[in-house]
Amino acid sequence: MQIDRRLVGFGLFLITVGAVMVAVRQGLIPDDTARRSWSLWPLILVGVGLSIALARRPGAAIGGLVLAVTFGAMAGGFAATGSFGFSGLCNGDRAGGTAFPDGSGDLADGARVTINQACGDVTVTTAGGSHWSLSGVSPDGRAPRFLGASDTLRIDASEGNTFGLDPSAAWDVVLPQDPLLELAIEANAGDARVTLAGARLSRLSLDRNAGSIDVDLREIHAIDELSLDINAGSGTLRLPAIGFAGRLSVNAGSLAICTRPGSGLRIRLEGSFASSNDFDEHGLSEVDGAWQTQGYATAETRIALDADVNAGSLSLDPVRTCAG
């Protein structure tokens, strides 16, 4: 029987990716260590060197196996944390940046709010009334571009930055709690924290590309629909005590879901490739192709999520993330 060495290498790669993701999720490998998985790159040279030195000799496959394990460990660390340790390039430097002029206005019922940040940190919170505000810092004190009217608020990265990058940009956006809003946030690199206590939302759309995002819906007053996309990043989703439907997409990243006691949760996984989850460890069972908590059908509060996870992980209530 002849073994296809290419399949052996690919299988070992997938095994290593999954093993690292599980080890990080279980706390066996610290997050900081996983984020530095890129530092294994010298082993790539070792693997290539072994492949060349042992070509057409006994043990020639060793080089390929070293490469498979190395790439698997790097990919697993990246998928588990959503970072290769380079996120500091776009972290908001509040001490080193220059405060830009504040912006503010009022929003009416049904207003659409769009926040697009290319690089840096963004914090979104809420306050009573219909008033919104924007403050923060940027490298040169230049404010983000924003268009504000009673039915629309759009905030974008300022003009004149190379490739739109603001390494020391940090925005603080305060949204009103009284009007019903449609909120869309796209954040690329850096860190984002979205805490929507008291908000009323018809739709919440979040797009996180690289970096991290923490979405706190625990005290939200109303939400009809959620869409959360994480690409090459990590996220935390803190669920409310009210029912809603949502869609999750995690590609080369990780998402921790923090549940509320007594709430029913149903997650339908679609198109998952090289992904992992710990649903069975938390007592969820598969019913009609979806994972759900015990008593979901009769729960007073029901949250239904569709999840598409590729080279990523979903975890429920990890202590290190959800305890706070």
Tens of pLDDT, residues 220-258? 999 999 999 998 788 999 999 999 999 999 987 889 999
Give the pTM.
0.77
Mean pLDDT over residues 153-164, rounded?
68
Please answer whether residues 253 and 234 qualify as being in contact, where contact means their C-beta atoms are separated by less than 8 angstroms: yes
Q: At what angle do helices 5-25 and 61-81 cross, to 10 degrees?
A: 30
pLDDT at 286: 92
pLDDT at 33: 73
13 or 287: whose pLDDT is higher?
Answer: 287
Burial of 46 (0-12, 13-18, 19+ CB in 10 A): middle
Lowest mean pLDDT among 136-145, 217-226, 283-292: 136-145
252 or 80: whose pLDDT is higher?
Answer: 252
Lowest mean pLDDT among 36-45, 155-164, 187-196, 223-232: 155-164
Q: How confident is the model at residue 86 (pLDDT cuts 50, 70, 90)?
A: very low
Mean pLDDT over residues 16-35, rounded?
74
Buried b (16+ CB within 10 A) or exposed e, 280-304: eeeebeeeeebbbbeebeebeebbb
Task: Tell me: pLDDT of 308 over 90.
Answer: yes
